Structure 1
Amino acid sequence: MHFENTKEFAKSLDQQDPLHKYREQFLFPKVNDKQVIYFTGNSLGLQPKNTQAYVDEIMNDWAELAVEGHFYSEKPWWDYHERLAEPLSKVVGAKPSEITVMNTLTVNLHLLMVSFYRPTAKRYKIICEEKAFPSDQYMLQSQVRFHGYDPDEAIVEIKKREGEHNFRTEDILKTIEEVGEECALLLIGGVNYYTGQVFDMKTITKAGQDIGAKVGWDLAHAAGNVQLELHDWNVDFAAWCSYKYMNSGPGNASGCFVHERYHNQKDIPRFEGWWGTQKDTRFLMKPEFEPMPNADAWQLSNAPVLSVAPYLASLQMFTEVGMETLIQKRNLIVSYLEFILQEIDKQVDSTFEIITPTAQEERGTQLSVFLHGEGRKLFDYLMKNGVIIDWREPNVIRLAPAPFYCSYEDMFEFGQILKQGILDKSNH
């Protein structure tokens, strides 16, 4: 498509956008009494307007039914989380039986590592990407120390080449081959939080399993953002937060995937609790754990329904729209944002370097941009003028135009504010 850096062109794209009506279903903050341009759906998605009703329903049931709400509310609390399995399975490419929702992301990754990181004297190493999200780094370090290993020896980081911003798949595969039979686990972020690079999860999963390792994915920046086929890719396990592209609210419940080949195994290593035991006999209070025949076997406690309710509200929209339509708009709006940045770059003295891959299959909703010649003052200017963005040291802004609620006109207006911020600085 031939893009134009004009408001009229941006509005024409919005008029043709099948998702444009969903923008009205979200609540936007305001700056200077004007609705913001919101680029941080990769950190915290906006609140869907239907969320309040889902939460109020539980509050009302609690008020009117108290403990009986577990069984007699319209959406009984005791199996509330089960309602998310079907819609989530379509988002991440899984069978509903392979999905459960519980706890928060890092908690779930720790719990899943109980099952899937089983080091031996010979096979004990974990492969991850260098400069993974800090929570993943801390988790991996603490896990290997827990098992009696030195993180410097047990954790192998895949490196970027000197002077390059992104990982090369061939380098990842080479590292996997080199670690070989010493590798117990690969655990990588499916989308790199800093650059927005999407990894070739299918190829990497196969390579890791070919050397006898288990393969898991942290999908915090991938779920609801990129095409996932966890079941068909034969992924062992995965987990993701729900509050970024999935719009469930701050710190809310995390989704988990456990491939069906691990279901119905009573002897699998696992930390267990009573919500993972068979549903029909759960309240008989048996001393022996009888696992649910699906991913719910990893459940520990009854679901935090006030946390899960906003997730269910958001998934209603994902079900209506489908990932294919979301990804089509994602590709177009990110390409338009890229074009706007390039156009503004020609008009000012500064140089923007987009460090996110240019190939659509290697990127999702996020563009990470080096502001060469600029600094924190430009970020502050944008924020004060109603552009909500994300800053990462040393000099990178992350822009994530979430397709549910960002418009093409937002992209144009952002370009104008960005240009003005640079020119204002140069005029002083």
Structure 2
Amino acid sequence: MGQGRLVYCKNGDVAAELAALGDRPAQVTGGPHHYIGTFLQWSEDQPVLLLSFNRHSGSHRTARARARTLHWGPRRNPLLGPFAKLRMFLTTAARILAFRPSWVLCAASGPPLWACYAAARMLGVPFVHTRHGRFGGGSRRWNRQLETWLDGWVILHAHAVICHGPYLREQLLALGVPRARLLEFNLSYRYLDAHRAPREAPSDAGGRTVLFVGRLQKAKGVFDLLEAMLPRLQADPRLRLVYAGGGPDLARLRERAAAAPCARQIEVPGYVPHDRVPTLVREARVVVTPTRAELPESRCKAAIESLVLGRPVIAPDAGPFPYVVRHGDNGLLFREHDVADLARQIGAALDDEALYARLLEGARRAGAELLDSSFNFRDALEAAYARSALALPAPQTR
């Protein structure tokens, strides 16, 4: 890539991520820092400004990169919400304009996205959007609908749009993004290769453990899973339910698990280091990802990693999951928000050995297919940079 000054605006805590990685990180494979690590590798020696909003503010600076995590906390008074969003917009735009970049990449939505686009237009530089979450949310509130419309308008005016996986690709095509400007990437899961086991007999696979891996919050379906599993746990003292992860509902989940009659069979250890997750998956009979519709899931990494590791997945029949989990082949799909159907599918995976043998073999095949990606996030960055550099002024849309 040529000489330039680059902006990357994203969700999360960029100051903490830069402090953890440094501005020239070694190969980042998987884990929570994958995207920012890949961006820093790809940007080589270019000056970089990283921006994000979080509940905690912070900053970190290295020889070529500066990161600012700006405060965005919950507002007790809803009347202050519009003013807080205006502040987000103005703060983001001001920092980008002061940095004077030659290229702007934004992975956020709402005011930071609008500010990135506005600043890029004011400076006359390319603007690229990278999408990692579901577009829109189906809210009926007029202000949320307006924000979704503004997000869509900005995305349609981006010089290039990067997205993760086929579900987001279809959403963006439906929005009206031209195929010529859309770059779909997938992640490589080669970092899990050492943890993949040879072909197993169903009797050797995972014993009687049902596993959840991910952020512990209601929208991830953690309480739905507990409700679905309680009758099974009480009926089978050999059965275990394990939740691996941290999150805002960790304490509440622990309280409910401790109050259950089968509390000894439920484990909620909290945060688990990423390098320990493969062992937990390999020890499970099945992995459940019961995400609810209110969470804008786009490409459930826990489901894909589980398949790569050879474990069947039980997931809802909506959103990105049917693109990965094939019902009756490498996993089972349940009707979204239907706890009774979730319980039935878990029961089938536990009780039907012939079915489980097929699922295990299907997961092994799917894992081999998902292991590598011919076009990854770094490839998408390179292609977006090349395309957007030739695309000024901003393209017209229909």
After TM superposition, the score normalised by the length of structure 2 is: 0.31
Which structure has more RCO (C-alpha within 8 Å, separation ≥ 6)?
1
After TM superposition, the score normalised by the length of structure 1 is: 0.29
